[in-house]
Amino acid sequence: MIASWPVFLGRFGLWALCAGALFALVFSVLDLKSKSQWSLVAKRSFLTSCIGSLLTVFGLQYALFSHDFSIRYVATVSSKSQPTMYLFSAWWGSLEGGLLLWAFLICLFTFLAIYKDKLRGSILTSFLLLPSATLCFFSGLMLKFANPLASFDDRFTIPLDGIGMNPLLQDPGMAIHPPLLYLGFTGITIPASHAITHLLNKNEEWIQLSRYWTNYAWFFLTTGILVGSWWAYHELGWGGWWFWDPVENASLMPWLLLTAFAHSALAFKARKLFNRWNLFLVLAAYGMTLVGTFITRSGIITSVHAFSESDLGYWFLGYITVYLLFAFGFLGFNWDSLKDNSDLKESASKENAILFNNLLFLGMFVAVFFGTTWPIFSEISTGEKVSVGAPYFEKTIPPISMPALILLSIAPWLSWKRKTGKKFKNYLKIGTIGGLLSFLFFSYIRSSIGLPWLDSSWEHFLTTFLLGFTLLPTCKEFLDSKKGRFMSSYHGGLIVHLGVLFLAIGATASVEHKFQTDAILENEKSFVLDDYDVELTQDANGLQITNSENYSSFGASVHVSSDGGTKILYPEKRDYGPNWSPTTEMGLKSNWKRDITLSMSEIINDSKVRYRVTIQPFLKFIWIGGIISILGFLVIIGSERR
């Protein structure tokens, strides 16, 4: 069977992508080695690679939209009945397309960086090393193991319709979550490449340029993680929003290093401190994007054997090793020549606060890294497979993250180099008043929704105190700041910090006060949770069966009375036919005080259904905090553009 011309073009594009990247890499190395002018050739090879990636994407999209099921990937991730929007998002529905998206975004970011930062000469060629090596690797993987445009070996096996996407993933949140994460991951390539230009060419501007791109990578990564969490909470339906799953941890690890870098880069900007440390962090963050992808894609977490069954894992491991050798080799060789101002005389200064911030973030990173990879080390060293779950993370993360939150509430008021002044003491005073007020306020609110007055975890107490402790001084800072200087990156940072504290209140409350019970509801009989002041009544109509475009729904109307209001929820089970397991759509009654969710767990008969009821106080603070943080990022990005 002859492929259609766009598919043909796409396959050609994939080769162009690989060849262009290879040439860009070779000519960059030549340019750096021989001091002759190969930079223009390297740049044009790289542009060829960009065009190649565009062609491949076009070919894949054409195949998806024209339902060309002779392409294996298309038959796996899409079907004829799939809505248009999810035909497009089927692009990143599985490994092959995911690699293509990764390559495409690296092209995009690198292209933008070259033109925005006006890179030329040897700076350009040293900058191109990392993106072109990464592109070589990813396009090589696609050509060898995971070609998104490969057709079936045998044309008689071509199916009439594809398997399609899991209905659970046919959701706007899940459609944009992966590309946001990929944008964050690939965005880290740019600051890491700028770091390499500094190591190879003494590019003193690297840190400003890196900071600029780090803001974007950070923004996308954070948004991606939050959207993923939001989706898990709303679509998986059982009241959880973070599961400490290796896939989640894989996105958290580079995030922690990137956040540490965003702070320590401030210390460099203000005082030329931590030069080597900054380079280390940004190079490690890029490394972690590879490691994260490796551990989630190779199956090594489940078992070392699963990993050794596919060559993909070895290739990843090989590339990671090569990257680490080169990146940290460059860093090691340049160690002595990298100038570092290491004057940290004043102990209560902002630079010391940043030092401890970095230590804490590194600590969290180490905790997450070991928790995630321990199964691998254990199996290799002792032959015993172990599994590390949420209890480990719930034990190790709070003792590190809580000091970080305290630091976050104090550090913005410290000064560079100097001792703290009157302003600092004043802010502490205002803050203490604010903290006590917010502590009492949240205690009162907890008591009003059926929880005991002064009985909670120390983490939750601390976060409720810290919110007021930070909020009042922040308000004063905003009121005092002169007009026009209102939206500086400093102010953006303060907004992000507030968002983090909101999120922390929601997170600690949900860990400590999450309440879950099963309730069997019958028509028009009410079920009362006395302690929580919640009344549930199933509608007189009982179980309803309705048919929708691609599923049939079993649902029931339930009246939920709480907090002085009644809302009718419609929890359902959706059946998407024999190919898929049914999904649970929860009913949610939410206000800022608490979330009450209702999920059908078992249909006993037409009028009797068992539900899982979950009550979580302050859960909305997680999303509110996330949105505040994202707005803060936007302020930072906006102010640094100028």
Q: Which of positions 415-444 make contact with another protein (CB under 8 A)?
A: none
Question: How many angstroms separate the CA atoms of 632 and 490, rounded?
Answer: 10
Choosing from 26, 359, 634, 637, the residue that interacts with another protein (CB under 8 A) is 359
Q: Choose the binding region for another protein from 128-136, 242-250, 464-472, 528-536 (rule: CB under 8 A).
A: 242-250
Work out whether 67 is an interface residue with another protein (CB under 8 A).
no
Size of the site for another protein (CB under 8 A): 84
Q: Which stretch binds another protein (CB under 8 A): 24-32, 93-101, 459-467, 483-491?
A: 93-101
- Binders in 166-205 for another protein, by CB under 8 A: 166, 168-169, 178
Q: Are 253 and 365 in contact (CB under 8 A)?
A: yes
- Write the CB contacts of 623 (distance below 8 Å, at least 6 apart in sequence): 226, 230, 506
Which residue in the set 61, 302, 488, 561 belongs to the binding site for another protein (CB under 8 A)? Answer: 302
Contact call for residue 146 and another protein (CB under 8 A): yes
Contact segment (CB under 8 A) with another protein among 12-20, 350-358, 409-417, 436-444 equals 350-358
Does 401 help bind another protein (rule: CB under 8 A)?
no
Examine residue 480 and tell whether it contacts another protein (CB under 8 A). no
Q: How far apart are CA 228 and CA 178, in angstroms?
A: 8
Nearer to another protein, 47 or 247 (CB): 247
Site for another protein in 572-601 (CB under 8 A): 579-584, 599, 601
Sign of CA dihedral 561, 566, 567, 573: positive
Q: Using CB under 8 A, which of 320, 344, 627, 634 touches another protein?
A: 344
Rounded to a whole number of angstroms, the minimum distance from the CB of residue 132 to another protein is 24
Pairwise CA distance, residues 77 & 61, whole Å = 12
Among 11, 297, 513, 594, binds another protein (CB under 8 A): 297
* Complex with another protein: residue 387 or 526, whichever CB lies closer: 387
Least Cβ distance, residue 438 to another protein (angstroms): 28
Task: Determine the longest span between alpha carbons in the chain, in angstroms.
Answer: 85
Residues 320-339, interacting with another protein (CB under 8 A): 332, 335-336
Closer to another protein by CB, 374 or 490: give it: 374
| 395 near another protein (CB under 8 A) | yes
Find where tokens 């998806």 sit: 64
Tell whether residue 92 is a contact of another protein (CB under 8 A).
yes
For residue 612, state whether it binds another protein (rule: CB under 8 A): yes
**From the centroid of its chain, how far is CA 26?**
33
Beta-carbon count within 10 A of 616 CB: 24
Show contacts with another protein in window 26-45 (CB under 8 A): none
Using the minimum distance from each CB to another protein, give the nearer residue, 92 or 286: 92
Restricted to residues 222-241, the positions that interact with another protein (CB under 8 A) are: 236-238
Cβ 51 to another protein shortest distance, Å: 26
605 is an interface residue for another protein by CB under 8 A: no
Reduced to 3 states (helix: H, G, I; strand: E, B; else coil), residue 170 is coil
Supply the DSSP symbol for 236: I
CA 495-496-498 angle, 5° bins: 65
Q: Which of 28, 76, 125, 193 touches another protein (CB under 8 A)?
A: 76
- Three-state DSSP class for 516? strand
* CA 14 centroid distance within chain: 28
List C-alpha distances in Å: 137 to 151, 491, 520, 544.
Answer: 22, 40, 55, 53
- Binding flag, residue 363, another protein (CB under 8 A): yes
Separation CA 633–CA 219 (nearest Å): 6
Among 184, 187, 375, 555, binds another protein (CB under 8 A): 375
User: Measured from the CB atom, is 378 or 591 closer to another protein?
Assistant: 378
* 459-475 b/e (C-beta count within 10 Å ≥ 16 → b): bbbbbbbbbbbbbbbbe
Tell how far CA 179 is from the center of its chain: 10
**Dihedral sign (CA 510, 515, 521, 525):** negative
Report the C-alpha gap between 620 and 503 in whole angstroms.
9
| Residue 392 sits in the site that holds another protein (CB under 8 A) | yes
Q: How far is the CB of 34 from another protein (least distance, A)?
A: 28
